[in-house]
Amino acid sequence: MKKHNFYAGPAILPEEVKRKTSDSLIDFAGMGLSVMEISHRSPQWVACMENAFSLTSELLCIPDGYKVMFLTGGASSQFYMSAMNLLDESDVAGYINTGTWSAKSIKEAELFGKVKNVGSSKDDKYSYIPKKLDSEGVKYVHYTSNNTVFGTQFQELPDVDVPLVGDMSSDIFSREVDITRHDLIYCGAQKNMGPAGVTLVIVKESALGKVKRNIPTILDYRTHISKGSMFNTPPVLPIYISMLTMQWVKDNGGVKAMKLRNEAKAQLLYNEIDRNDLFNGFVAKEDRSMMNACFGLHDDSNQDAFLDMATEAGIVGIQGHRSVGGFRASMYNAMDIESVEVLVSVMKAFSEKYG
């Protein structure tokens, strides 16, 4: 039976990418060696790394003046590394609190400077994206573009007149983004780009070198820029798989095509949630995520029965986050609409049986 993978992360990868990765584990680039055991200084790996840089810039239309890095530590490391590099002790950074991950980033930023809450949806269990933002006096505004735990997503960039810092861990490459509005973008790979182990960072070079503090060498973005993301041995396998995934995005029409693909999947599922009297969505309709649909049953006592029906259909990973409950269907780029159709069919069958 085919599995329909709705896990929030580590998440689904394109079948083509998995096959090519499998081959490379035995023989990478005709070297007769696994990609996991080659030198990161070898010409074959340097070419792969350069391709990963090139694809990132091409797919996201990154302009001159910005640099791409492939680092480690996940987005969690960027919660503090971004503030350490951009926020001086006398500065004030603005943060939009829309859930678990933005709250964690706020906590880390407070170690390096003053933090101002410019908007929050905590008052209603993070069920919406705040629109009225008070960014007066801040150096930049940090936001989490898509919230995997609660299922909200910024449909437009925050309406502020200062540079943005964006955590795009779960929706990078899913739609176009105006890079020029940002001083920094970062994302952990394991949701919509590749496997866990590599972190993508895009930074405006002119934003660096402005803080007075001494930054440890390995935590200074300028170190990694100057060394082409190979100051220390890079995580070659996650970078390679991420490069293959970006190539897959390009071969399938690029970011514009991914947006259309994702809109179709999300609309299909949300239409069923709204139509089906047994289910209810958790967030404001105008702020619903294309990547992570969070929903539940009006009668929680039937939750196990629904999960059993989903499992029988080959569906995995739709349990909601432990802090929210209910269900969460993660529909990243690599998911085919067929999997969403199967989920919708199970919801309809469930309604016929228990409605």
Element (H, E) at 222: helix 221-226
With a CB cutoff of 8 Å and minimum separation 6, the contacts of 67 are 202, 203, 205, 221, 225
* Angle, CA of 153, 158 and 159, to the nearest 5°: 145
Residue of 67, 191, 204, 265 marked catalytic: 191
Token readout for 288 is 């619903």
Q: Kindly report whether the peptide bond that precedes residue 195 is cis, defined as omega within 30 degrees of 0.
A: no
Residue of 45, 67, 101, 139 marked catalytic: 101
Count how many Cα atoms sit within 13 Å of the Cα of residue 127 in the half-sphere of its side chain: 11
Taking the C-alpha atoms of residue 154 and residue 188, their distance in angstroms, rounded to an integer, is 18
Taking the C-alpha atoms of residue 261 and residue 192, their distance in angstroms, rounded to an integer, is 14
For residues 266-292, one letter each, b for 16 or more C-beta atoms within 10 angstroms of the residue's C-beta and e for the rest, the string is beebbebbeebebbebbbeeebbbbbb
Residue of 67, 91, 139, 167 marked catalytic: 167
Query: How many of the other CB atoms lie within 10 Å of CB of 110?
Result: 15
Q: Catalogue the E-assigned strands of 179-267.
A: 182-188, 199-204
As a residue count, the chain comes to 355
- The DSSP output letter for 321 is P
* Residue 191 annotated among the catalytic residues of the structure: yes
Taking the C-alpha atoms of residue 31 and residue 27, their distance in angstroms, rounded to an integer, is 6
* Residue 287 annotated among the catalytic residues of the structure: no
* Residue 248 annotated among the catalytic residues of the structure: no
Active site residues: 101, 167, 191
